[in-house]
Amino acid sequence: MVFDPRLHHRRSIRLRGYDYAGGGAYFVTICTVGGKCLFGEVVEGKMFLNEAGQLVQKTWDSLPTRFRSLVLDAFQVMPNHIHAVFVLPGPGLDPALAKATGAPVVQPFEGRRGRDRPSLVANKNNRQEAASHPRRK
């Protein structure tokens, strides 16, 4: 589909001036197309996942194996949407949030050419080792 400003005019909900490349906690809601109940049903106040809902849950649970520094927090599958809270480590991640969630602390690394490059530093709640950056010759 070609961009048409008459049709594609959604306003950005991003906070102006905020560096989204840094670390932080993120809350995400993903809805099914047309609000179709694809993931299961709620019976007497309890969510029962169908096969698709179980696949969504399994995928969420496996994300840290693909993205080693990702820290999962709250997650809920509903019949037609999901809610998720996760923490991405990076420069600017509040130390209290890192401690509470076990996210690695990322500190800026001054490279040879003066560029900031993140460097993972293990903390008490995380077994991740400090990342090594190859030096340029």
pLDDT digits (tens, 9 = 90+) for 1-11: 687 777 777 77
Residue 71, domain member (yes or no)? yes
Task: Write out the E strands in 96-135.
Answer: 105-110, 116-121
What residues make up the domain containing 80?
24-121
Quote the pTM value: 0.65
Residue 16, domain member (yes or no)? no
Write the single-letter amino acid at 66: R
Count: domains in the chain: 1
Count Cβ atoms within 10 A of the Cβ of residue 80 and give its class: 0-12 exposed, 13-18 middle, 19 or more buried. Answer: middle
Does the pLDDT value for residue 117 go beyond 60? no
Other Cβ atoms less than 10 A from the Cβ of 20: the count is: 10
Residue 36, domain member (yes or no)? yes
Q: Are strands 24-31 and 105-110 parallel, antiparallel or unpaired?
A: unpaired
Q: What share of the chain is helix, strand, coil (3-state, %, to 5)?
A: 20, 30, 50
| Average pLDDT of span 110-134 | 45
Residue 102 and residue 86: Cα distance in Å, rounded? 11
Residue 38, domain member (yes or no)? yes
